Amino acid sequence: MRSLVETEGACALPGCTIKYESFTQVMWRAVQRGFVRHNDAIFLADGLRYGFKLGVDTTKMHGHRQFNNYKSAVEAAESVSKAVQERVDAHKTVDLGPSTSRLELAVRSLFTASCIFPMGAVGKSVEEYVNEKRPTDDHTRTGLNAATDMKGLRYGLNTYQEIAEGFKKFFFMRVSDVKGAFPILPLHPDLWPFFL
**SS3 for 91?**
coil
Distances in Å between the Cα of 137 and the Cα atoms of 69, 72, 115, 126, 180 are: 9, 12, 12, 20, 14
Give 132-165 pLDDT, tens digit per residue.
788 989 999 999 999 999 887 766 667 777 777 7
Hey, how many other C-beta atoms are within 10 angstroms of the C-beta on 76?
Answer: 24
**What is the band of 177 on the pLDDT scale with cuts at 50, 70, 90?**
low
Give 66-105 pLDDT, tens digit per residue.
999 999 999 999 999 998 999 899 888 899 988 899 999 9
Rounded Cα gap, residues 195 and 28, in angstroms: 31
**SS3 for 4?**
helix
Is residue 96 within 8 A of residue 114, CB to CB? The reply is: no
Rounded Cα gap, residues 79 and 73, in angstroms: 9
Amino acid at 36: V
| Domain extents in the chain | 56-151
User: pTM to 2 decimals?
Assistant: 0.81
